[in-house]
């Protein structure tokens, strides 16, 4: 299992636009989440692929969902 420290480092390395997309995904309804995930796969870039893999994990792991949501909030609070 990934530690909070590792998760913080990983999420902090994501560009602000990527974190914005991830936050959008976390608060979206199921239909919108599917569209965002498809968009990431269609983009085809390495960051988009990694983000798509992350959101797939979040869909099956409620604890990870909560941890990522909390840590993204902490990162955004720290970076304004």
Cβ pair 43, 76 in contact under 8 A = no
Q: Where are the alpha helices (DSSP H) in 14-79?
A: 16-27, 30-43, 46-60, 62-79
Query: Counting every residue, how long is the chain?
Result: 80
Mean pLDDT of the chain: 82
CA–CA dist 60, 5 (Å, integer): 21
* Most confident stretch, 25-29, 37-41, 55-59, 71-75: 71-75
Cβ pair 18, 47 in contact under 8 A = yes
Cβ pair 48, 40 in contact under 8 A = yes
Give residue-wise pLDDT tens across range 66-80.
898 999 899 888 876
Please give the residue that has the higher pLDDT: either 1 or 4: 4
Q: What's the pTM?
A: 0.72
């Amino acid at each position: 299992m990934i530690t909070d420290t590792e998760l913080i480092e990983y999420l902090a390395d994501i560009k602000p636009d990527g974190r914005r997309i991830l936050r959008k995904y976390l608060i979206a309804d199921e239909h919108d989440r599917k569209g965002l995930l498809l968009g990431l796969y269609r983009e085809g870039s390495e960051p988009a692929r990694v983000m798509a893999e992350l959101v797939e994990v979040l869909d099956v792991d409620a604890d990870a969902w909560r941890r990522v949501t909390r840590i993204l909030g902490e990162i955004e609070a720290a970076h304004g």
